[in-house]
Amino acid sequence: MKTGDSHRLLLNQGGICLATVSFSVFNYEKTTFTMKKIEAIIKPHKFEEVQEALREAGVHGMTVTEVKGFGRQRGHTEIYRGSEYTIDFVPKTKLEIITSDEQCAAIAKVIEETAKTGKVGDGKIFIYNIEDVLRIRTSEHGDEAL
């Protein structure tokens, strides 16, 4: 079957159409997940410490973005010139790291331990399955492209 082929399965019993199921077939070179994406939202003042710990842990690629967000407390309340203001969005730093499955837990642990202050707003770590990675220069795929 070719990439993008669409197949239609018709379930028919006694002349009554019960269900029509459509599905697509994708032709990835690797079909099993072997990599993860770690997306960590941390306090900006913790970034340098986390970055250094990740370097020592052998992380050799990441994307960093300055972001704004809120969690359960919906930001925080500040007094400014005697009035109370609720600030919905608090500045945070987002790290994105693609790792092999094997290294994922250890790297997430490094971030967790280094970014923790014990106070609200310390951040979150989201983990995703990654289907493939392509190094543009060499056309390497998967783990080899990390």
Ligand X SMILES: Nc1ncnc2c1ncn2[C@@H]1O[C@H](COP(=O)(O)OP(=O)(O)OP(=O)(O)O)[C@@H](O)[C@H]1O
Positions touching ligand X (CB under 6 A) are 41, 69-73, 90, 92, 120-124
Kindly identify the residues of this chain, within the stretch 2-61, that bind Mg ion according to CB under 5 A.
none
Q: In whole angstroms, how close is the CB of 28 to ligand X at the nearest point?
A: 28
Per-residue HEC secondary structure of 3-45 comes to CCEEEEEEEEECCEEEEEEEEEECCCCCCCCCEEEEEEEECHH
Give the pairing of strands 83-87 and 76-80: antiparallel
Long-range own/partner contacts, residues 82-89 (CB < 8 A, 24 or more apart): none
Nearer to ligand X, 47 or 145 (CB): 47
Nearer to ligand X, 27 or 129 (CB): 129
Sequential DSSP letters for 112-135: HHHH--SSTT-EEEEEEEE---B-
CB crowding 110-133: b at 16 or more within 10 Å, else e: bbeebbeeeeebebebeeeebeeb
Nearer to Mg ion, 30 or 76 (CB): 76
Question: Binding mask 53-82 vs Mg ion (x if CB under 5 A, - otherwise)?
Answer: ------------------xxx---------
Q: In whole angstroms, how close is the CB of 89 to ligand X at the nearest point?
A: 7
Q: Which stretch binds Mg ion (CB under 5 A): 16-24, 36-44, 80-88, 120-128?
A: 120-128
Number of residues this chain uses to bind Mg ion (CB under 5 A):
5
**Closest listed residue to residue 96, CA positions, set 133, 141, 142:** 133
Q: In whole angstroms, how close is the CB of 82 to ligand X at the nearest point?
A: 27
Q: In whole angstroms, how close is the CB of 57 to ligand X at the nearest point?
A: 22
| Residues at the interface with Mg ion (CB under 5 A) | 71-73, 120-121
